[in-house]
A = this chain, B = another copy of it.
Amino acid sequence: MIAGFDVGGTNARCLLIETDSGRVIDRERSSSEGSGVELRDRLTGIVRELERRNQTTVDAVGLGVAGLAHRSGVVRYSPNLPGLVEYPLGTEMQAALGVPVAVMNDATAGAWAEAKLGAGRGSDDFAFVALGTGIGTGFVCGGRLLTGANGFAGETGHMVVEANGPEHITGQRGPWEYFASGSALGRMGREAAEGGVFRAGTGLAGSIQAITGVHVVAALRAGDGEAAVILDEFCRAVALGLTNLVVIFDPERIVIGGGLTEIGKPLQEGTQHWLNKLLLGAKHRPAVDVVMAELGDEAGALGAALISQQQA
């Protein structure tokens, strides 16, 4: 058996997985808050509990972490997991469990899961783009996962697309994440409501200021036409960043994951439409397919487990 964790800003999710089949045998969740030592003990306890409950042993553990996770097992930077920064979580868990522990970025892990078991199957060159509160990405190039020199590859949300644009929470001006994340969708909803349209959003949220991406998504699902206009603008912003990834990587496929996949077909079709329209030289290259991820919110934990197995 192998175990994979997805360690987000609030919660950690763990999957117990059968080594050969990739089948999920059991699941567990916990808070991810607190210090590095607390997290080590909590995650180690989860592995022990899953072993006990399923009468099995875990041979390798993978951790997908929201942040700059150095391949040595140390999280170097993570706004969402301040207690983990500079704590050698990988080696500490390895010492506690007595099995290899691999640490990586959560979107990198998600890309690998989609490559092996999801919407990336059959493709040696694709980009995984997780649209959630922020943007996470992972790349499969020539059948291999892009990790970078330190394990920091795929921080594409920070790619600047509008150098004189608005200032993001990172301090950068105009990064892709500012325009094309779940947070951006919420801002677009508020801006529309301030402009006198998108009453559905105000109704759902209670006030203009309370509108988030969740309300835009809810209005979309209820068939609200103004939400559809907002989504079109949003898909254009997503696609603009994708054009950069296409000219750089030449993928044959883009796999969209993350919480916003809840929107479903309108997100997929809108993004595909704008990608075809904005991509330079689109008529000179085979179409790049935009598809939806297949593994939902378990992709990160699944991929972390699969990668731990390869490195063990």
Contact = CB atoms under 8 A, between A and B. Distances in A.
Contacts of A142: 144, 146-147
A118 interface: no
B280 A148 contact: no
Interface in A137-176: 137, 141-142, 144, 146-156, 158-165, 170-172, 174-175
A52 interface: no
Contacts of A251: 148-149
A286 B158 CA distance: 17
A250 interface: yes
B159 A247 contact: yes
A252 interface: yes
Interface residues of A, number: 49
Interface string A166-193: 0000111011000000000000000000
Nearest to A248: B156
A149 B247 contact: no
Contact of A247 (B151, B155, B171, B285): B155
B160 A240 contact: yes
A159 to B, nearest CB: 5
Contacts of A249: 146, 148, 153
A107 to B, nearest CB: 12
Interface string A232-269: 00000000100111011111100000000000000000
Given A124-B149, A125-B148, A149-B286, 11 more contacts: A123-B149, A142-B144, A142-B147, A149-B252, A153-B248, A155-B248, A155-B280, A156-B248, A172-B280, A244-B244, A245-B248
